[in-house]
Amino acid sequence: MPFIGIHVFLVLLSTSHQLTKCLLYKVDLGFCAGPIVA
């Protein structure tokens, strides 16, 4: 089912984007990990 693949891709993309924002802005790890784990 392609929808599942697209969903997983978007989740991975969103996760890497959150990680990038955290690394770039040096945000507190706790604040970063919240959206990633959720």
7 in a structural domain: no
1 in a structural domain: no
Q: Which residue has the tokens 């978007």?
A: 10
20 in a structural domain: yes
The reported pLDDT for the residue numbered 5 is 72
The reported pLDDT for the residue numbered 32 is 55
The reported pLDDT for the residue numbered 10 is 76
25 in a structural domain: yes
2 in a structural domain: no
For the stretch 1-38, pLDDT in tens is: 566 677 777 777 777 777 676 666 655 555 555 555 44
The reported pLDDT for the residue numbered 20 is 73
CA distance linking residue 30 with residue 19, whole number of Å: 12
32 in a structural domain: yes
Furthest C-alpha separation in the chain: 38
The reported pLDDT for the residue numbered 38 is 43
Q: What is the pTM of this model?
A: 0.36
Write out the residue range of the structural domain in which residue 26 sits.
12-37
Q: How many domains does the chain have?
A: 1
30 in a structural domain: yes
